């Protein structure tokens, strides 16, 4: 991977090379790609970077651990298809994602469906498809059992456990304490007893997903150890052998200069120890899965905008671009961040060294639409392309695209 020397403050290294000064994605200079796409703004995802990232994760994971892609991070069909050829399984969070996942070559038994509030019609689709349903509550179990009886197809179920520990360092916590996600660990034995005595669904195992966007290796490793211990203890109450153990993931990516990339090697070693010490001994039949979204795709994508206006206001320079928070909400700091920090950003045609301090803002009529606050960028004029990095995960589909009625941006896989 090559790194650009994009510019200064709050800009991390990014894996996109420059050719004759112009940033490239998938080897295509961005000015040419913009012509090919026919419009700005747009999202571009780099196929080779996706492949390299999956290869790096697989290289670090011990043998016997499967890799699942969490479709919610980026469900763009071409990207999903590419990912489906690289990973072992897919995780979905809705029937929309389920349909897209079933369109790939990943077999249904390698697709898991997690998330609170699955409705009965959605459960019918999932049971009919034969995917693994990750149980979020006793009520959901009851509805799944009714669906199974009605269809004459036993649902394949795993219990999503809300653990009795929280994971330090997660940008977004989805486990520990009271939660809408999963079944509290102390309630799981009773649920397992119901699954066993009813006999109308097929018990596969457990899923624990306790947090997202974690950059602290030690806390990820500690969570994995605690997860395995918890599952090993719960397995005593299970109605059959544990054949599926989904350890979650939560691997984070750097968004600002102070963020350090994860040390995958250390996570892999921890998992190797766990496989050797506990999993093969206490859960010998378990298919062990790590489930990642952001880490696999986040750094492979860019959001490309064009400068529409350049203006001064009381000593500050504003670059108004043709995109904004309606496409890339996360970069404006309005998606689950307490403190707004600039995402890596660059002028496509220039890496400096001359810079100026600017605010890059979108075209929505709200002061929230700030893509970069006091960023040091090479001088940019109207018509220049401004590129936001780390846009491969939770970008377009995690943004309020209908807000102010601008057209949806194209997405391309290069
Ligand atoms: C059940 C589940 N799996 C996977 C993910 C993907 O997380 P990430 O993109 O941080 O890897 C999430 C995120 O919220 C999740 O809730």
Is 144 in a helix, a strand, or coil?
Answer: helix
Residue located nearest, by CA, to atom 15 of ligand 1: 209
The domain locations on the chain are 18-46+299-413, 75-292
Tell how far the Cα of 292 is from the centroid of ligand 1, in angstroms. Answer: 6
Q: Residues 295-333, buried b or exposed e (16+ Cβ, 10 A)? A: bbbbbbbbbbbbbeebeeeeeebebbbbbbbbbbbbbbb
Tell how far the Cα of 260 is from the centroid of ligand 1, in angstroms. Answer: 20
Tell how far the Cα of 410 is from the centroid of ligand 1, in angstroms. Answer: 24
CATH number of 75-292: 3.20.20.10
Q: What is the DSSP letter of 277?
A: I
What pLDDT, on the 0 to 100 scale, is given for residue 3? 37
What pLDDT, on the 0 to 100 scale, is given for residue 257? 81
Q: Are 89 and 290 in contact (CB under 8 A)?
A: no
Q: Which of 45, 34, 100 is nearest to 307 (CA)?
A: 34
Q: What is the DSSP letter of 110?
A: G
Tell how far the Cα of 305 is from the centroid of ligand 1, in angstroms. Answer: 28
Is 311 in a helix, a strand, or coil?
Answer: strand
Residue located nearest, by CA, to atom 6 of ligand 1: 293
What pLDDT, on the 0 to 100 scale, is given for residue 72? 98
Catalytic residue annotation: 365
Residue 9 binned pLDDT confidence (cut-offs 50, 70, 90): very low
Tell me the mean pLDDT in the region 237-264. 94
Tell me the mean pLDDT in the region 310-334. 97
Q: Which of 265, 281, 283, 163 is nearest to 211 (CA)?
A: 163
What pLDDT, on the 0 to 100 scale, is given for residue 173? 67
What is the CATH class of 18-46+299-413? mainly beta
Tell how far the Cα of 219 is from the centroid of ligand 1, in angstroms. Answer: 16
Same fold, 18-46+299-413 and 75-292: no
- Ligand 1 pocket test, pick from 93, 159, 252 with the greatest ligand atom count within 8 Å of Cβ, gives 93
Q: From the alpha carbon of 252, which atom of ligand 1 is closest?
A: 10
* Residue-wise pLDDT tens digits, 373-400: 999 999 999 999 999 999 999 999 999 9
Token pair 């993931």 is found at 249
Instruction: Write down the H helix ranges in 93-151.
Output: 95-102, 120-129, 138-151
CA distances from 303 to 65, 371, 382 (A): 33, 11, 17
Residue 6 binned pLDDT confidence (cut-offs 50, 70, 90): very low
CA distance linking residue 369 with residue 391, whole number of Å: 16
* Residue-wise pLDDT tens digits, 87-99: 999 999 999 999 9
Query: What secondary structure does DSSP assign to 173-187, as a single string?
Result: E-SSSS-SSSEEGGG
Tell me the mean pLDDT in the region 303-310. 98
Q: From the alpha carbon of 250, which atom of ligand 1 is closest?
A: 10
Residue 11 binned pLDDT confidence (cut-offs 50, 70, 90): very low
* Residue-wise pLDDT tens digits, 152-210: 999 999 999 999 877 676 666 667 788 888 999 999 999 999 999 999 999 999 999 87
Task: Show the ligand 1 pocket: residues with CB < 6 angstroms.
Answer: 70, 73, 91, 114, 174, 209, 212-213, 249-250, 291-295, 393
Q: From the alpha carbon of 134, which atom of ligand 1 is closest?
A: 1
Tell me the mean pLDDT in the region 218-238. 95
Q: What is the DSSP letter of 270?
A: H
Q: What is the mean pLDDT of the chain?
A: 94
Q: Residues 122-137, buried b or exposed e (16+ Cβ, 10 A)? A: bbbbbbebebbbbbbb
Paired tokens of 289: 């899965």
Q: From the alpha carbon of 207, which atom of ligand 1 is closest?
A: 1
């Amino acid at each position: 991977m090559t790194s650009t020397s994009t510019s200064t403050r709050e800009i991390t290294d990014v894996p996109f090379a420059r050719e004759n000064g112009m940033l490239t994605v998938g080897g295509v200079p961005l000015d040419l790609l913009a012509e090919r796409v026919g419009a700005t703004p747009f999202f571009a995802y780099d196929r080779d970077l996706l492949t390299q990232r999956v290869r790096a994760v697989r290289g670090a994971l011990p043998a016997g651990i499967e890799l699942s892609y969490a479709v919610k991070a980026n469900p763009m069909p071409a990207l999903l298809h590419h990912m489906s050829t690289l990973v072992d399984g897919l995780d979905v969070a809705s029937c929309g994602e389920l349909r897209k996942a079933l369109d790939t070559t990943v077999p249904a038994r390698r697709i898991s469906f997690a998330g609170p509030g699955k409705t009965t019609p959605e459960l019918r689709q999932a049971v009919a498809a034969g995917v693994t349903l990750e149980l979020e509550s006793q009520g959901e179990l009851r509805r799944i059992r009714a669906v199974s009886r009605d269809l004459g197809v036993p649902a394949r179920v795993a219990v999503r456990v809300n653990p009795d520990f929280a994971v330090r360092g997660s940008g977004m916590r989805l486990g520990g304490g009271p939660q809408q996600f999963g079944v509290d660990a102390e309630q799981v034995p009773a649920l397992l007893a119901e699954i066993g005595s009813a006999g109308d669904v097929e018990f596969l195992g457990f899923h624990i997903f306790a947090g997202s966007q974690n950059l602290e290796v030690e806390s990820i490793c500690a969570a994995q150890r605690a997860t395995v211990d918890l599952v090993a203890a719960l397995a005593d109450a299970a109605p059959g052998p544990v054949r599926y153990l989904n350890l979650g993931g939560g691997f984070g990516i750097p968004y600002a200069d102070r963020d350090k990339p994860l040390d995958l090697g250390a996570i892999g070693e921890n998992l190797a120890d766990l496989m050797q010490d506990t999993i093969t001994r206490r859960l010998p039949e378990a298919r062990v899965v790590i489930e990642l979204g952001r880490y696999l795709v986040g750094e492979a994508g860019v959001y490309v905008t064009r400068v529409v206006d350049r203006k001064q206001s009381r000593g500050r320079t504003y670059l108004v671009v043709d995109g904004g928070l309606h496409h890339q909400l996360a970069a404006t700091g309005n998606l689950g961040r307490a403190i707004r920090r600039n995402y890596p950003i660059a002028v496509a045609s220039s890496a400096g060294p001359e810079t100026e301090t600017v605010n890059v803002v979108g075209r929505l009529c709200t002061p929230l639409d700030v893509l970069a606050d006091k960023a040091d960028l090479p001088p940019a004029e109207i018509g220049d392309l401004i590129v936001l990095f780390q846009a491969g995960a939770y970008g377009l589909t995690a943004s309020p695209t209908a807000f102010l009625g601008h057209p949806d941006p194209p997405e391309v896989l290069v």
